[in-house]
Structure 1
Amino acid sequence: MRTALVAAALLLVSGCGATVAQDTTSGEGPVTVTNCGQQVTYDRVPSKVVTNDTGITELMFALGLKDRMAGYVVNGLKTVDVQTSPWKADFESGKHLSDKISKEVVQGVNADLVFAGWNYGFSESTGFTPEALKQLGIPSYLLTEACRNGVGKQRGIMPALDALYTDLRNLGKIFRVEAKAEELVKSYQQQIENAGKLMAGKPRPKVFLYDSGQDQPFTSGKNAAPQDIIARAGGDNVFGDLNDSWTTVNWEAVVQRNPDVVLIVDYADGEANTPQEKQKFLEGFAPLQNSPAVKNKRFYSLPYAALVEGPRNPASIEAFAKYLSQA
C-alpha cells in the first residue's frame, strides 16, 4: 500500500526526541486501512495505545507517537532490546505496563487501541485475541509480519520489508502522520539500497538464522524479517523455502543445508541466555561440526528487536552486509 504525500500545510510537533510532520488538514474523522487483508475502520485518532513487544513499540516511537501511548508490554527477556534501542529514552520515559499482555492490562489503562500480532501477544490459547478485544469495545491493529496466510496458523502474507512499509503507512494514516511515515519509508529504502552494494558481485553465503532451541531449532522462514535482512545483506536464508515466518525445524534439515554463516538472535531464551552461549552450543553440537559456519567460526548476532519487523530492520541489513563483506 502506498500513501501519497498530502499537499498540505505541515505542523512540526516535537515529542520525546522525535520531530513529527503532522498533517494539520487531516482532521479527526474515521479512516480505513487494509490490515491482514481486511478493511478496518478507526473512528478517531487513538490516544491510549497499548503495544506488545519491542519491535512493535519501536514502530510507534519511530513515528513520534509516544504521546499517543498508554504504555507498552515487553517481557523481562528483552532487556538487550531496550538497552540497545535507538529509542531507549522513549522506553525509559514511557510506561512499562507488564511483562505479559492481557485483557486486564489493557482495560486497566482504558486502551483505545491494542497494537500486537499473532504470536506477538495475540493467541487463542490465552484468549487474548482481536475478537476478544472487539467484544470489549477495544480496536486492534495487527503487525503485518504476523498476519496468518490461510494455511493453519502459518504467518506471513507479503515480503517482510513490504510488511514494514505497509505498517508504517497504515499507522501514518491512522495517526495522521502520513508525511512522517513516507519520510521513514524513503530513508529506509535508500539505506537498504546502499547496504546492498557492499556485497555486489560477491558469492552469496548460506545463512542459518538461529533464534533458540536445543532439541529443535527455532528459525525464520521466508515470511519473517530475517528473510529480507539476510537477502538484502547479500546472503541466502537456508530456510527461505518455508512458507511461514518464525517456525521450528529439525537439526537434520540444518545439517543438510550446510550453512556458511549463523546469524544468532540476541535475547535470553531460557536455555542459552547470550549469543556467546548459543555459539558455544552450536560449536559443540556434533552434527554441525563439519559445516563451514562452525569450521570457520562464522557467527554474527543481532538483538531480537533488530530481527523482528520494526524500524531497526534497515540498520540490521547494513550491519550484516558489512560483516558478510569482510569475509
Structure 2
Amino acid sequence: MPPVSGPTPRRRGPRAWPRAAHRKGTMGTTRTTVRWAGLLLAALLSAGCGADTGERPRSADSGVQVTNCDRPQSFPESPRRVVSMNQHATEMLLTLGLGDRMVGTAYPDSDDVPPQLADSYRKIPKLSDRYPTFEQVLAAEPDLVVGGYASAFAEKEGRGRKALEDRGIRTLLLTENCTERTTFDTVAEDLRMFGRVFGVPNRAEKVVSGMKARLDAVRAKLKDVEPVPVFFYDSGKKSAFTVGGRGLGNEIAAMAGGRNVFADNDRVFGDASWEQVAERAPRAVVIIDYLGSGQVDTKREYLRDHPLAGATPGVSEGRFIVLALPDIIEGIRMPDAVERLARALHPEVAW
C-alpha cells in the first residue's frame, strides 16, 4: 500500500467469491436488474463529453507539476498516449473528453458503461481482461499510465510506478488509494488534476459543478430523514467482504440518507464477521455487482439462507439494493449512485 492508504490485503477463504483480487491492498448498474438512468447522467456528462467548451488539450506549454499519492509528476506537455488500468479511471478520462488520447484500458469491472461514454469506451483497445503484463503496457507505447486501484501498479508483478517511470512513462493513481477518507472532494480534486495535466481545466470544472449540483439536490431532500443502517455485501462466505469507512462507498451511503454499519472498519474494503453483521442489524443491504463476483441472485439467496445474516431486518424483509462496483468507488458515477440509493432507502420522500 502507499503510505496512507486503504485496506490491507484481504485474507480470502477457499470458498470466497472470486475476483476481488484487484482490490487487494487498495482500497456493476447491474447486468441483470439495474440499468443506468441515462437522462440523469446526461446532465453530468454533457459538460465533459461531447460539449464544445472552446478548450483543447494542451499540446505544449511551460509544463504542469502535480503531487499524486506523495509522488511528484512533471508534465512538460499534455499526455498523448494514455493507458488506463481500471474501468472507473477510464470513465473519468472519457468524461473529460480525452478518448482520443487513450491507447489502452484493462480490467473492466462491469459490462455496463454509462451510455454517453459507451461509444468512446468501445474504441479503446482492451489490453487485458485483467491486468496487462509490463511488456503489454510497454507495447502500447504510453506516455502516461493511470491506475484506479493501487494493485494496478503492483511491484511484485513488475508494474510498479518506479519501473514505469524509469522507462519515461509518467503515472497517476486515483487518490482513493492513498487518503485517510474518500469524499466528493477527493473525486473533484482528481478530476481537476486531470484537467490541469491535460490542459482542460474548464472542462473539468464543469463536470465537478454538475456532480455537486446533483448531490446538493439530494442532500436538500434528505435533510430531515433518519439514516438507515446499511450493510454493503461484496462477497465472501467465511467472512463478509464489505465497504469500510475510508472509501467512497461510505460517503455515498451517508449522502443517500444511510449509515454504513461498518464505517468503523478502517479500510476502503475489508472483512467483517457474520456475528458482527448480525449484531449491527442492518435495515438495508447493498449487493455489489461486478464481473466475476458471482450472480446477484446467488448472493441474495446466500444471505437469505445464512443463519446470522438471514435474521437481520434488511435481509429478512428483502430490502436489497444492487449497485455496480464502479458505482461505489472513485469516479463519475457518484451522483447516480447516491440518487438511486437515496430513492431506495427513503421511498417516503417526494422524489
Q: Distance in 2 between matches of 1:160 and 1:326?
A: 25
Q: Check if 1:35 corresponds to 2:56.
A: no
Per mean C-alpha deviation after superposition, the further-off stretch among 36-45 and 224-233 is 36-45
CA drift at 1:249: 2.5
Aligned residue in 1 for 2:140? 109
- Give, in whole Å, the separation in 1 of the partners of 2:312 and 2:120: 42
Asked if 1:311 is matched to 2:332, the reply is: yes
Please give the alpha-carbon distance, in whole angstroms, between the structure 2 residues aligned to 1:284 and 1:105: 44
- Quick one: distance in 2 between partners of 1:60 and 1:289? 41
Residue 142 of structure 1 aligns with which residue? 173
Rounded Cα–Cα distance in structure 1 between residues aligned with 2:228 and 2:48: 42
The 1-side partners of 2:330 and 2:63 are apart by: 27
1:38 and 1:310 mapped to 2: Cα distance?
Answer: 21
Report the CA distance shift for 1:118/1:40 in structure 2 as closer, same or farther (over 3 A). same
Q: In structure 1, what is the equivalent of residue 124 of structure 2?
A: 94
RMSD: 2.2
Give the counterpart of 1:51 among 68, 74, 84.
84
Give % identity: 32
Q: Of the candidates 224, 234, 246, which is equivalent to residue 201 of structure 1?
A: 224
Matched residue, 1:152: none
How far has the Cα of 1:304 moved from its partner? Answer: 1.6
CA contact (8 A) 1:21 1:177 kept: no
Q: What amino acid does structure 1 have at the position aligned with 2:315?
A: V
Q: Quick check: 1:256 aligned with 2:279?
A: yes
Amino acid at match of 1:266: D
CA distance in 2, matches of 1:48, 1:139: 11
Distance 2:116 2:287 in 1: 20
* Cα contact 1:212–1:269 (8 A) shared by 2: no
Deviations 1:155-185 (A, max 9, x none): x334332221111000000000000111111
**Alignment partner of 1:159: what SS?**
coil
Inter-CA distance 143–239: structure 2 relative to 1 (3 Å threshold): same
Q: How far apart are the structure 1 equivalents of 2:88 and 2:169?
A: 22
Given that 1:73 and 1:98 are in contact with CA atoms closer than 8 Å, whether structure 2 keeps it comes out as: yes
Question: How far, CA to CA, are the matches of 1:37 and 1:58 in structure 2?
Answer: 24
User: SS where residue 289 of structure 1 aligns?
Assistant: helix
1:70 Cα deviation from its structure 2 partner: 0.9
Structure 2 residue 271 is the aligned partner of structure 1 residue 284: no
| Structure 2 residue aligned with 1:178 | 201
Alpha-carbon distance between aligned partners in 1 of 2:106 and 2:191, rounded to the nearest angstrom: 20
CA contact (8 A) 1:80 1:303 kept: no
- 1:63 pairs with 2:96: yes
Q: Aligned AA for 1:195?
A: V
Report the Cα distance in structure 2 between the residues aligned to 1:210 and 1:223, rounded to whole angstroms: 16
Q: Which moved more, 1:246-255 or 1:277-286?
A: 246-255
Q: Identify the range of structure 1 (174-183 vs 27-36) with the bigger mean alpha-carbon deviation.
A: 27-36
Aligned counterpart in structure 1 of residue 344 of structure 2, from 318, 323, 326: 323
Q: Secondary structure at the match of 1:64?
A: coil
Deviation at 1:216, TM superposition (A): 2.0
- Residue range with higher mean Cα deviation, 230-239 or 196-205: 196-205
Shift of 1:16: 7.1
AA aligned to 2:310 is Q
- State the Cα distance separating 1:15 from its structure 2 match: 9.7
Distance in structure 1 (CA, Å) of the matches to 2:269 and 2:110: 21
Structure 1 residues 25, 91: closer, same or farther in 2, change over 3 A? Answer: closer
Contact 1:21 1:180 in 2 (8 A): no
SS in structure 2 at match of 1:81: coil
Q: CA deviation at 1:242?
A: 2.2
Q: Give the Cα–Cα distance (whole angstroms) in 2 for the partners of residues 140 and 278 of structure 1.
A: 36
Q: Which whole-Å CA distance do the structure 2 matches of 1:279 and 1:291 have between them?
A: 13
C-alpha distance in structure 1 between counterparts of 2:119 and 2:169, whole Å: 28
* Residue segments in structure 2 that go unaligned for 5+ positions in a row: 1-46
TM-score w.r.t. structure 1 length?
0.85
1:286-301 aligned at under 5 Å gives the runs 286-301=307-322
The structure with more strand, counted as a fraction of residues: 1
Alignment of 1:224-243 (within 5 A): 224-243=247-266
Structure 2 CA distance for partners of 1:125 and 1:118, relative to 1, 3 Å: farther
Name which of structure 1's ranges 16-25 and 131-140 shifts more when overlaid on structure 2. Answer: 16-25
Q: CA deviation at 1:20?
A: 4.9
Distance 1:15 1:173, change over 3 A: closer
Change (3 A) 1:16 1:231: closer
Q: Is the 8 A contact 1:220 1:245 kept in 2?
A: yes
The total of aligned residue pairs comes to 301
My pick for the range that moved more, 260-269 or 293-302, is: 260-269
What letter matches 1:294 in structure 2?
Answer: V
Residue type at the aligned position of 1:232: M
